[in-house]
Structure 1
């Protein structure tokens, strides 16, 4: 199914003058960076471009078409010279006060996209008003808000319409380069469910999050360690586990590690542009060396020793088992060496070091989106 970029015109492709009417060639000024970065989107990515613009009262005495079209067509010719063309131009002529369903955020003029065979869930509406974001929500798409003026469009939405826009906004920016990078890199998320007779596990992972975590495994210390993993790797991570803790902790920890590894493998996807490798951390008297390779093959080298039977409610013998199971699920190499005196510090530093390794290894270079391997596959 085809992905679409629904692009507002004024304030998005061209700068909007004080009177909000680009009705003369002298008022035509392009948004900074639009030629370079929208041009790269067109050349490198698989999106159709559709212009969706409100032109209040176009065709009336106050906004005659003889003023609009020469300037509009000059804009199109300049964009076309850079390979930027539109499969459709949708222009609404109603006034804001008319509150017509054809006017953004109404979907009256885009019904054929709602009914057609389009990948709207992975499409975007790009615009400078909150009404553009509301249109994205109404279409089941994502919104990119070019927020030069955060108040633009607010007066056109009631309280109910404003609700939920935060989830629709994929990016708030004034920079077309940031829009290119968002679209070029795309999201890296995974949701994994693992259900056996011993455990029921749900994991949600966003590799490019902000370190938000939500843990509920039934084991306090395990929650604490997984919280470190999410926060210090910069991943959003939620882990919910119902395990047979009335027997012991083994199945809960092992199955969570397997599912967590599988989530990382799924979220990494094709691995294009990733750094692939990462390592190292110190915490108080504890020093930990974690070397990681998301190379597609599981392996664990383990050089850690614990004298305590448990840390909190987690058996120390299960730490080796956790990292081995994670390596198996993520199809990654792990080499872990830990030294210290306080075993709480040692194991917490180990989880933090793994998190920092993940943060380094998952990083992508948008200007070098190649597979980091001479084999041609990972």
Structure 2
């Protein structure tokens, strides 16, 4: 299967986002969100997920990063959903556990068509990383948006560690790895569900 590409333009009164996601494009990133730390997060997801990812975004970060990070999750999820099409022949499930120094984070993905996110990361609430600042809460909003937009089930949990930067970075790498597994084409054109649809 080739040519699995999703392109999304999302515009609200608070954000303007364009995402191009290519599942078979190999690791390639061109990411600019106006939030340097979040650029780092998205780049880690793409690099470890072997995803071609282009993101151009801006938002009302002078108010807070909340609107932009949530809408980035929704747009990225919608681009992923578009790239997957009917989801024929995919593995559907993916899981990865990634260490980063003292931190260990697990991410499990099911491209089920049923959106839901259960996120339990450790770290200091309200701590802002980068400038403009991104907090752990913003990353959680991003993950919930990704699950909704991508019609996927997502479980994220910290096994150990409390360094906020390490928690978020390990999550991003694990999410990339889990998505790479779940979106991999395993052969045949079957939809991986006894219901016949995802």
Query: What is the TM-score normalised by the length of structure 2?
Result: 0.94
Aligned to 1:213, the other structure's residue is in SS state strand
Secondary structure in 2 aligned to 1:311?
coil
Deviation at 1:346, TM superposition (A): 1.2
Q: Does 1:289 align with 2:143?
A: no
The alpha carbon displacement at 1:305 in A equals 2.7
* 1:277-316 equivalent positions in 2, closer than 5 A: 277-280=93-96, 281-308=98-125, 309-312=127-130, 313-316=133-136
- Alignment partners' CA distance in 1, 2:108 and 2:114: 14
Matched, 1:321 2:141: yes
Q: Secondary structure in 2 aligned to 1:229?
A: helix
Unaligned 5+ segments in structure 1 are 1-184
Aligned to 2:48: 232
> How many equivalent pairs are there?
193
**Correspondence 1:137-156 to 2 at 5 A:** none
Give 1:369 deviation, angstroms: 2.1
Query: Is 1:342 matched up with 2:160?
Result: no
Q: Does 1:371 align with 2:188?
A: no
Instruction: Name which structure has the greater RCO, CA cutoff 8 Å, separation 6+.
Output: 2
In structure 2, what is the equivalent of residue 199 of structure 1? 15
After TM superposition, the runs of 4+ consecutive aligned structure 1 residues lying more than 3 A away are none
**Residue deviations 1:272-292 (CA, integer Å, cap 9, x gap):** 110001112222211111010
Deviation at 1:377, TM superposition (A): 0.6
Instruction: Measure the CA separation in 2 of the matches of 1:329 and 1:285.
Output: 32
1:34 — aligned with what?
A: none
* 8 A contact 2:8–2:75 mirrored in 1: yes
Cα displacement (A) at 1:310: 1.7
CA contact (8 A) 2:119 2:156 kept: yes
Select the structure that is richer in strand. Answer: 2
Match of 1:352 among 173, 177, 182: 173
The DSSP-based 3-state class of the residue aligned with 1:310 is coil
**In structure 2, distance between residues paired with 1:248 and 1:347:** 18
- Displacement of 1:244 after TM fit? 1.2
Q: Which residue of 2 aligns with 1:219?
A: 35
Q: CA deviation at 1:363?
A: 0.4
Structure 2: gaps spanning 5 or more residues: none
Structure 1 position 330, deviation (Å): 0.3
SS at match of 1:314: coil
In the alignment, the residues of structure 2 paired with residue 369 and residue 272 of structure 1 have an alpha-carbon distance, to the nearest angstrom, of 5
Please give the root-mean-square deviation of Cα atoms over the aligned residues, in Å.
1.1
